[in-house]
Amino acid sequence: MALKNVDLVALQKKAVLFRREILEMLQLAGSGHPGGSLSAVEIFIALYFYKIRHDPKNPAWEDRDRVIVSKGHCSPVTYVTLANAGYFLKEELKTFRKFQSRLQGHVHHKVPGVEFNTGSLGHGLSYANGVAMGAKLHRKSLKAYCIMGDGEIQEGSVWEAAMSAAHFKLDNVCAIVDYNKVQENGPTNEIKNLEPLAKRWASFGWHAIELDGHNLDQLITALDDFDSVKGKPTVIIANTVKGKGISFMEGKPAWHGKAPNAEQLQQALSELK
């Protein structure tokens, strides 16, 4: 059951702010990945502003929950989330993708709050498994959350990791698939069909939950449900829209990796109220 004392309206307002900040960063940089960042905003908010145990002033706190951003090109949503959570100053967002900035196009562990370097898709879940096994060995109650893309999970390594997590009964692993239905070059299920996706994860021994990935209430409820599942890992299949919130970006593969120009930014910001 979700903790209903959560201020959903405040979290929804945060989602609008995050989308604005993501687009501003991208426009300033002149490059980057808007589509899969905009689709994952509510996933990040539910994790960082509701669920996880963390201390932004002490990113190396041993007992923190780990969020592994396996789709490492979605650095814009990661950095905006971390800055808003207090890991570093928001001012630094302006350095995104600039020479010598810490905020490079793919997430890097030098950035406070980033657990693991990603960018080459398909590796985050194995890392999450390792963290989770280590936690069990050391009798720690921390959890590992791994955010993946739908195109990403076409990688065979993801399914090896899925098998391992179930075999080792890693009930402290929660995979979250940002199921925005579009990968780099087109619709995911036309390029390589993932369906029936929830059944596939279940057949690998996972507790599978499917929901609307823009609905914070549903996300929060699912993240709480994960805590009560014992003996198996959990996957949340979050149905989302790539480019969510911006009419000319939604569902468009062209906006997978392209920054808006100044005019497009203004148009986009006018839609985010």
Ligand X SMILES: Cc1ncc(C[n+]2csc(CCOP(=O)(O)OP(=O)(O)O)c2C)c(N)n1
Q: In the complex, which residues of this chain contact ligand X (CB under 6 A)? A: 33, 35-36, 71, 73-74, 119-122, 149-152, 178, 180, 182-184, 188, 242, 256
Decide if 122 contacts 157 (C-beta within 8 A): yes
Q: Using N-to-C axis directions, what is the helix angle for 75-85 and 8-29, rounded to 10°? A: 120
Tell me the residue ranges of DSSP E strands in the chain: 66-69, 144-149, 173-179, 207-212, 234-239
Work out how close the CB of 103 gets to ligand X at its nearest, in angstroms, rounded to a whole number. Answer: 18
Decide if 43 contacts 238 (C-beta within 8 A): yes
Work out how close the CB of 57 gets to ligand X at its nearest, in angstroms, rounded to a whole number. Answer: 30
Residue 106 or 136 having the CB closest to ligand X: 106
Q: Which residues contact 129 (CB under 8 A, 6 or more apart)?
A: 144, 161, 164, 165, 168, 170, 173
For 39-96, give the DSSP string. Answer: TTHHHHHHIIIII----TT-TT-TT--EEEESSTT-HHHHHHHHHHHTSS-GGGGGGT
Within 10 Å of residue 29's Cβ, how many Cβ atoms? 19
Q: Of 97, 159, 161, 154, nearest to 125 (Cα)?
A: 161
Residue 88 or 151 having the CB closest to ligand X: 151
Residue 115 or 152 having the CB closest to ligand X: 152
Residue 69 or 135 having the CB closest to ligand X: 69
Work out how close the CB of 147 gets to ligand X at its nearest, in angstroms, rounded to a whole number. Answer: 9
Residue 73 or 207 having the CB closest to ligand X: 73
Work out how close the CB of 122 gets to ligand X at its nearest, in angstroms, rounded to a whole number. Answer: 6
Work out how close the CB of 149 gets to ligand X at its nearest, in angstroms, rounded to a whole number. Answer: 2
Residue 188 or 234 having the CB closest to ligand X: 188
Whether residue 196 is preceded by a cis peptide bond, meaning omega within 30 degrees of 0, is yes
Work out how close the CB of 202 gets to ligand X at its nearest, in angstroms, rounded to a whole number. Answer: 21
